[in-house]
Amino acid sequence: MLQPFALLLVAAALDDAAALYRKTDYTAALRALGTPSVPAELELAARCHYGLGELKQAAVLLEQAIAREPGRASLHHWLGRVMGRRAETASVFSAPGLASKARQHFEKAVQLDPRRGEALSDLFEYYLQAPGFLGGGRDKAASLLDRIGAVDPAEREFALFRLAEDRKEWDGAELHLRRAIELAPKQVGRRVDLARFLARRGRIPESETVFEEAAALDPNHPALLYGRAETYVEGRRKPAEARALLERYLKLDLTPDDPPRSDARKLLAKP
C-alpha cells in the first residue's frame, strides 16, 4: 500500500500528465506518467497512445485498467473508440471482430453511465453506420434518441439530422440542424455543421452566410477554421483561403477533442 506522501506524488504526476494531455502533448504526458499502474493512470496513458495513433498499446492499457476496475464507464468508452479505430484499418478478416468489440464496449459504457453523452453519441453512430450482422441498424440508432435528448437536446437534433441525412431526406435534415442551432445558439460547431451541409448540397452562398455567422461568434474557433477549410478543400474552392485557415488552425492551442494537426497538414498537402 502506498504511503500518504507517495500518494501525493502519484496524484501530482497524474495532474501534470493530464495538463500535458489537454494540450495534445501526448509524448510529454507519457513521460510525466512514467509507468502507469492504477486505472486512472492507465486510462490517461491509453488516451495518449490513442492520440499518437498507437492503437494496440492503447487497447492493452485499457484492458489492464478494466481488469482492475470493470465498472468504470470511461474505460469501456475509450476501449470502444480504440477498437472502432482499429476496425477501420484492419483486414477484412479482423475488422468484424474489432467492430463488434467496439459496439460491446460502447454499450457497456452507456449501461454503466446512462448520461455519458459522448458514449451515447458514439454508440448512435455505430448503430447508424454498421451493418445488421455487426449489430447495427437505423432502428437501433433511433432507439437512443430520447436518451441523447435527456443529456443534450441539441445533440438529439443532430442525431435526427444524421438519420434524415442517411435516408437522403434533405429538407428534414436541414430542419434538424437549424433546430440544433436554436437550442444551442452560442455553440460555433452547430453553425459549422449547417454550413458544411449546405455546401454539400451545392448551396454555396447560404453556406458562406452561415460560416460568417459562426465567425461572428468566435473567429478563431477550431471547429470553424478546420471545418471551413475542409469544406473549401473538398469543394475545390478558395485554395488560398483554405490554406490561410489551416495555417491559423495549426497555430492554435488545440485540445484532444479537435482534429489533430496531422489531419490539417494532410489537407494542406492536397492540391
User: DSSP class of residue 259?
Assistant: P
The answer on pLDDT for 3 being more than 80 is no
Q: So what's the pLDDT on residue 164?
A: 98
Mean pLDDT value across residues 233-262: 97
pLDDT in tens, 143-200: 999 999 999 999 999 999 999 999 999 999 999 999 999 999 999 999 999 999 999 9
CATH code of the domain containing 208: 1.25.40
H/E element holding 135? none
Res. 80: pLDDT tops 90: yes
pLDDT of residue 11: 67
Q: Is-contact 263 225, C-beta < 8 A?
A: no
Site of grid cell 486512472: 40
Angle at 253 between CA 250 and CA 259, to 5 degrees: 60
Q: Does residue 96 form part of some domain?
A: no
Summarize the confidence of residues 210-231 as an average pLDDT.
98
Share of the chain above pLDDT 70, in %: 96
Q: What is the pLDDT of residue 140?
A: 98
**What confidence score (pLDDT) does residue 2 get?**
45
Q: How many domains does the chain have?
A: 1
For residue 5, the model assigns a pLDDT of 35
Residue 228 pLDDT > 50: yes
Whether residue 268 lies inside any domain: the answer is yes
How much is the pLDDT for 10?
54
Mean pLDDT of all residues in the chain?
95
103-141 per-position pLDDT tens digit? 999 999 999 999 999 999 999 999 999 999 999 999 999
Assess if residue 92 is contained within a domain.
no
Q: Are the C-beta atoms of residues 155 and 121 closer than 8 Å to each other?
A: yes
Query: Residue range 87-96: average pLDDT?
Result: 96
- End-to-end CA separation in angstroms for the chain: 58
Domain presence at residue 126: no
pLDDT tens digits, one per residue of 8-53: 445 678 999 999 999 999 999 999 999 999 999 999 999 999 999 9
How buried is residue 145: exposed, middle or buried, by Cβ count under 10 Å (0-12/13-18/19+)? Answer: middle
Tell me, yes or no, whether 20 lies in a domain. no
pLDDT score for 6: 42
Q: Is residue 23 part of a domain?
A: no
Helix (H, G, I), strand (E, B) or coil at 243: helix
Per the structure, the complete domain to which residue 203 belongs is given by: 186-271
Helices (H), 113-203: 117-129, 138-142, 145-151, 153-166, 170-183, 188-200
Question: CA-CA distance, 192 to 177, in Å (whole number)?
Answer: 10
The residue behind cell 492551442 is 253
pLDDT for 12 equals: 72
By CB atoms closer than 10 A (0-12, 13-18, 19+), residue 262 is: exposed
Grid coordinates standing for 219? 473567429
Considering the domain boundaries, does residue 239 fall inside one? yes
In a domain, 54, yes or no: no
Q: What is the pLDDT of residue 13?
A: 80
